[in-house]
């Protein structure tokens, strides 16, 4: 790794960590600015001022906000998010179970969506301005235009209510056999695949078309190579940087943006967990979930930047 590449990678990592620190401050400040009093909401409106003051003291709410922020951040960096206000359960333990479910859903969606998006992008470029290209582009444009919840409810109506092929509620639990888990998450995976497939395919197509205008592509065609071979061997490796970026962004969305899908299918993931505790005004849980979602999104995007830098031949082999 040359000095320029190392410097750019170090800058991206430092910027990502700085952004994560800023986001943690925004999350804490946002929950602090919410109306009402946490201690009062826990004890109820009939609680005496003395009882509310005592609970605030026990929870550390009587301390300055800046002191509480650094105390919360320091504990979070050690994996300690405190206990839930609604059930006194350890937050890290509860989040660990739910985060595992969300990552399981994201993994199987990515396993299907990423190769399929790249394949469709290749086919769209190979048959540019012909009926396969128009069919693929039109279908994906339609899918990307529909709201997530609408796609989810259409899937439930068609495949769960009308055809009765899959369950409408995606209930999973620990110890569940892999086959049963995959059957339970079939509709959420299909919905998420349709949502992210369109964006990845269109960006893959655009990146490949941009590369196809290069002189070396024309040279490869003049040598008699087939269209798919030119795209696969010459165009795709040089278009990998923007493709990696869009893939990583959509992978970040799979973890961060599944909240709506988890609510639609009542899937026991981190998004559903967050919504449940927002309704209960359980601020420590809301802060922990917000920090985890932000961390995943920032770290995945930071990884995409690093991969794009390492994949850039002009940086790896400077003149």
Cβ–Cβ under 8 Å, residues 195 and 143: yes
Query: What's the pLDDT tens digit per position in 262-283?
Result: 888 888 888 888 888 877 777 7
Domains in the chain: how many in total?
1
In a domain, residue 50? The reply is no
Q: What local confidence, expressed as pLDDT, does residue 24 receive?
A: 86
Structural domain contains residue 240: yes
- Let me know if residue 156 belongs to a domain: yes
Cα–Cα distance for residue pair 74/24, rounded to 1 Å: 11
Domain at 231, CATH number: 1.10.3720.10
Range of the domain at 189: 82-301
Q: What is the mean pLDDT of each run of 10 residues along the chain (319 residues)?
A: 74 86 85 66 68 71 76 81 75 82 87 85 77 80 79 87 85 82 88 83 76 64 61 64 76 78 86 80 82 85 78 58
CB 117 within 8 A of CB 204: yes
**Is 39 within the bounds of a domain?**
no
Residue 310 lies in a domain: no
Instruction: Specify the pTM.
Output: 0.77
Residue 210 lies in a domain: yes
Quick one: which H or E segment has residue 284?
A: helix 283-310
Closest by CA to 298, choosing from 13, 6, 2, is: 13
> Would 318 be classed as within a structural domain?
no
Look at residue 14 and tell me if it is in a domain: no
**What does the alpha-carbon distance between residue 290 and residue 23 come to, in Å, rounded to a whole number?**
9
Q: Contacts by 153-156 with C-beta closer than 8 Å and gap 24+?
A: 153/264, 155/187, 155/190, 155/191, 156/187, 156/264, 156/265
């Amino acid at each position: 790794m040359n000095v320029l590449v190392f410097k750019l990678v170090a800058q991206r990592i430092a910027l990502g960590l700085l952004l994560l620190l800023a986001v943690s401050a925004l999350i804490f400040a946002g929950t602090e600015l919410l109306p009402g009093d946490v201690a009062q909401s826990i004890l109820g409106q009939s609680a005496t001022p003395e009882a509310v003051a005592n609970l605030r003291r026990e929870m550390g709410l009587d301390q300055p906000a800046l002191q509480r922020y650094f105390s919360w951040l320091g504990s979070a960096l050690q994996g300690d998010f405190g206990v839930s206000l609604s059930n006194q359960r350890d937050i890290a333990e509860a989040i660990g179970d739910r985060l595992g479910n969300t990552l399981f859903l994201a993994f199987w969606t990515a396993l299907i969506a990423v190769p399929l998006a790249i394949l469709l992008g290749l086919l769209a470029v190979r048959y540019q301005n012909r009926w396969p290209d128009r069919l693929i582009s039109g279908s994906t444009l339609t899918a990307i235009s529909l709201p997530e919840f609408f796609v989810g409810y259409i899937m439930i109506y068609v495949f769960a209510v009308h055809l009765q092929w899959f369950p409408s509620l995606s209930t999973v639990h620990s110890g569940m056999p892999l086959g049963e888990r995959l059957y339970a998450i079939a509709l959420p995976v299909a919905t998420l695949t349709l949502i992210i497939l369109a964006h990845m395919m269109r960006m893959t197509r655009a990146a490949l078309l941009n590369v196809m205008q290069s002189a070396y592509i024309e040279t490869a065609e003049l040598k008699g190579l087939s269209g798919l071979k030119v795209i696969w061997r010459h165009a795709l490796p040089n278009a990998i940087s923007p493709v990696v970026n869009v893939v990583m962004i959509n992978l970040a969305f799979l973890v961060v943006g599944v909240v709506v899908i988890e609510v639609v299918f009542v899937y026991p993931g981190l998004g559903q967990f967050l919504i449940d505790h927002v309704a209960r005004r359980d601020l420590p849980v809301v802060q922990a979930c917000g920090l985890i979602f932000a961390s995943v999104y920032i770290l995945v995007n930071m990884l995409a930047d690093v991969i794009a830098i390492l994949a850039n031949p002009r940086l790896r082999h400077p003149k």
